[in-house]
Structure 1
């Protein structure tokens, strides 16, 4: 099965190299984009809010150094 899959991939690569039809290339790119999943979509709302807060805090300079974090959270590390 694995060899057959590899052969199919090679066939597709060879076909793509010779392809001149830009509309087909565009369709393939759209399919690729649609098939590639964004990890952000799998996060819960709480996780998204937490990440956004972290980014906001970072932009505002509200950061702790690694040594400060170790003092605060050391007992859990």
Structure 2
């Protein structure tokens, strides 16, 4: 656990000395992206889509990631 505390301390010292607004903006963006989304906060339509997707996956109605990437390769 000391390793984690040392890493945090190093990061805090580094952040305290940052003068570049772009870097601070990037750090803030990372922080914001870490906010949890809870199931109860999702709209009904999103919950329905997730449930349908899980059911499709359970019943084998899926397409491999590699196949999907191939069909969209020219845009990726």
The TM-score normalised by the length of structure 1 is 0.50
Matching of residue 29 in structure 1 with residue 28 in structure 2:
yes
- Counterpart-to-counterpart distance in 2, 1:25 and 1:8: 18
Give the deviation of 1:3 after TM superposition.
0.2
Give the deviation of 1:37 after TM superposition.
1.1
- Counterpart-to-counterpart distance in 2, 1:16 and 1:37: 23
Gapped regions of structure 1 (runs ≥ 5): 46-77
Write the deviation string for residues 35-73 of structure 1: whole angstroms up to 9, x where unpaired: 11133xx1263xxxxxxxxxxxxxxxxxxxxxxxxxxxx
In structure 2, the partner of 1:15 is: 14
Q: What is the total number of aligned residue pairs between the two structures?
A: 43
- Counterpart-to-counterpart distance in 1, 2:31 and 2:37: 12
The 5 A counterparts of 1:48-67 are: none
- Counterpart-to-counterpart distance in 2, 1:36 and 1:23: 21
Structure number having the greater helix percentage: 1
Gapped regions of structure 2 (runs ≥ 5): 45-76
Moved over 3 A (4+): none
